[in-house]
Structure 1
Amino acid sequence: MKKFGLMLLTGALTISLAACGGTEEKANTSAGNEENAAASANQSVEEFTITATNWEFTSDRELTIQKGKKVKLNLVNKEGLHTIGNDELGLDLKADAPSEFTAEKTGEYKLICSTVCGAAEDHEEMVIKLNIVD
């Protein structure tokens, strides 16, 4: 009977020590998650939606981005089939397939329709500007 009581006491002690260790691990994990959330906030993504109609691109707001900022571009085709490209930025944006990049170099960039979508003179003027500033 004494052996049974001793085994029961040992088991209870083991469980309580394991529970204490688990709490500390959760606290460390929680602190790590908070640090990751703060780092993510510093790396937030600036998101823009560009709408394409025949012969024109428009944006939900001005395409001006701070240098060093992550950017996400979305393309919505309202009329016709269009894509957007810019070799300097390595951009090849297709409808329903967002593109992300980091704005690394300041300047004004022309985002052009990279799918021939009509007469050459109209197609060549299908441009929207993206500004990367300090």
Structure 2
Amino acid sequence: MRRILRPVVMLAAGVLALTACSEQLDQGINDLAASALEDAVTRQLSDAGVTLESGPDCTTDLNRDGTSLTGDANCSGTAVDGRSVRAEFDGTLSSSGCSGSLGVFVDDEAIAQLDEIPDCSVNVEF
């Protein structure tokens, strides 16, 4: 019985370790995507003359599909004059670019609506 139990326990431990590694990898990729979107939002705000006091902080809900990430993200921040800043993204990020819908809003007024994010890429190849 002990000889059968040991391989089963070792297999279960291996599966748990792989799951933990996969979750860490996915979190790292989501962090990279959030950073790329935060940079894009900051550039759009800067181009509109808006300076941030805090943020933008983006949360992502993305799924990896080969070498690209698809899904959505929401970002929030505060301008130095106290106005509320938010951005919404729904699309695809990859090493060849970021496409989809990016809306950037200051106090709920749209200051940018993009279908293609300039100078944006996320490398998800390993």
The verdict on a shared fold, with TM-score over 0.5 as the criterion, is: no
Shorter-chain TM band: 0.3 to 0.5
Larger strand percent: 2
Structure possessing the higher radius of gyration over alpha carbons: 1
TM-score (norm 2): 0.39
Higher relative contact order (CA 8 A, sep 6+): 1
**TM-score, normalised to structure 1's length?**
0.38
